[in-house]
């Protein structure tokens, strides 16, 4: 039994003075209306209406309960109005989780630009390098760099994260500039542990792919630390282009083998369910997607 439907029928019957009229307004049959009122009375263990073939009257108990029934219907209406306002108004709070390095080197800046454009939306940005339970930890969206997504989450691809090989000019002056992918094996390569020591490389002109097993004396699971090691002249690394654009522009790093795409990886917005996702969350994901496309 849908109690709210029964309560609405009861209130409508009292206001219209007829169970038949109430049934017509709610687009149900007279017999269905009778069954719903009977079910409500049984649930409340009290008689609400005096019903005859010609007349309908409210009992004393029904009169006492009527204000509560009206209040419940008003609260239901307020509930739906509030939900519609949340969907239409661009205000509210979004909790976002991403890795420490991606958050520091890109996402924090993108969110600053987003909140400048949409000042009534509050972002709670959390940086963490472990997998989290979005529902348990009350996270609305996780931004993940990966080619393998968790099966229990919904994913929207926001773009690709282009990665490049890079080193300092000082390192290259000392050890030489690799002229081919194979020559990387003659250098010390600094490794992100997620990528490992086998790098996927695609020749952008020839559309040919190959795998290179590199030599490395340093592996770390954080891109910020990897970047610092490269800047210190410790070797060659594969790093996401958004992380190092400023260092390239300032001449602190130099791209190696620019004709190759190296270890391509996707950028994903992850969330627990696609049903009734608030507009502000869709807005944020679309904003990040467009921001990434600017390069």
The domain ranges of the chain are: 3-88, 95-156+266-293, 163-263
Separation CA 38–CA 51 (nearest Å): 11
The backbone torsions φ and ψ at residue 73, rounded to the nearest 5 degrees and listed phi first, read -65, -35
Choice between 161 and 165, residue whose per-residue pLDDT is larger: 165
Residue 109 predicted with pLDDT over 60: yes
117's tokens: 């454009």
163-263 and 95-156+266-293 share a CATH fold: yes
Give the per-residue pLDDT at 140: 92
Q: Which CATH class is domain 163-263?
A: alpha beta
Give the Cα-Cα-Cα angle 106, 109, 115 (nearest 5 degrees): 135
- Closest Cα partner for 28 from 39, 73, 83? 39
Which one is the CATH code of 95-156+266-293: 3.40.190.10, 2.60.40.1890, 1.10.760.10, 3.90.1150.10? 3.40.190.10
- Distance, in Å, from the CA atom of 145 to the CA atom of 89, rounded to the nearest integer, reads 30
User: Across all residues in the chain, what is the average pLDDT?
Assistant: 86
pLDDT, tens digit (0-9, with 9 covering 90-100), for 125-134: 999 877 777 8
pLDDT in tens, 137-151: 888 999 988 877 766
CATH 1.20.5.510 fits 3-88, yes or no: no
């Amino acid at each position: 039994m849908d109690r709210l439907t029964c309560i609405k029928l009861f209130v409508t019957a009292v206001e219209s003075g007829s169970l038949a009229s109430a049934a017509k307004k709610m687009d149900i049959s007279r017999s269905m209306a009778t069954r719903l009122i009977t079910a409500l009375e049984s649930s409340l263990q009290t008689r609400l209406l005096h019903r005859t073939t010609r007349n309908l009257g409210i009992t004393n108990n029904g009169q006492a309960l009527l204000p509560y029934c009206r209040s419940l219907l008003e609260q239901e209406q307020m509930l739906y109005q509030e939900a519609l306002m949340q969907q239409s108004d661009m205000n509210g709070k979004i909790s976002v989780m991403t890795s420490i390095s991606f958050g520091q080197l890109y996402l924090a800046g993108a969110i600053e630009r987003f909140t400048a454009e949409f000042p009534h939306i509050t972002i709670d940005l959390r940086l963490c390098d472990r997998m989290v339970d979005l529902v348990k930890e009350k996270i609305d969206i996780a931004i993940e760099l990966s080619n393998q997504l968790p099966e229990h989450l919904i994913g929207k691809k926001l773009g690709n994260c282009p990665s490049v090989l890079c080193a300092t000019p000082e390192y290259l002056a000392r050890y030489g500039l690799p002229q081919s992918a194979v020559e990387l094996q003659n250098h010390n390569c600094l490794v992100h542990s997620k990528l490992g020591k086998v790098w996927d490389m695609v020749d952008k002109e020839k559309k040919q792919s190959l795998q290179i097993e590199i030599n490395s004396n340093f592996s770390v699971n954080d891109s910020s630390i990897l970047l610092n090691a490269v800047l210190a002249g410790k070797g060659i690394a594969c790093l996401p282009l958004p992380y190092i654009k400023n260092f390239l522009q300032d001449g602190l790093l130099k791209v190696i083998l620019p004709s190759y795409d190296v270890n391509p990886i996707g950028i994903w917005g992850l969330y627990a369910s696609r049903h009734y996702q608030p507009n502000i969350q869709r807005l944020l994901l679309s904003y990040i997607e467009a921001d990434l496309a600017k390069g």
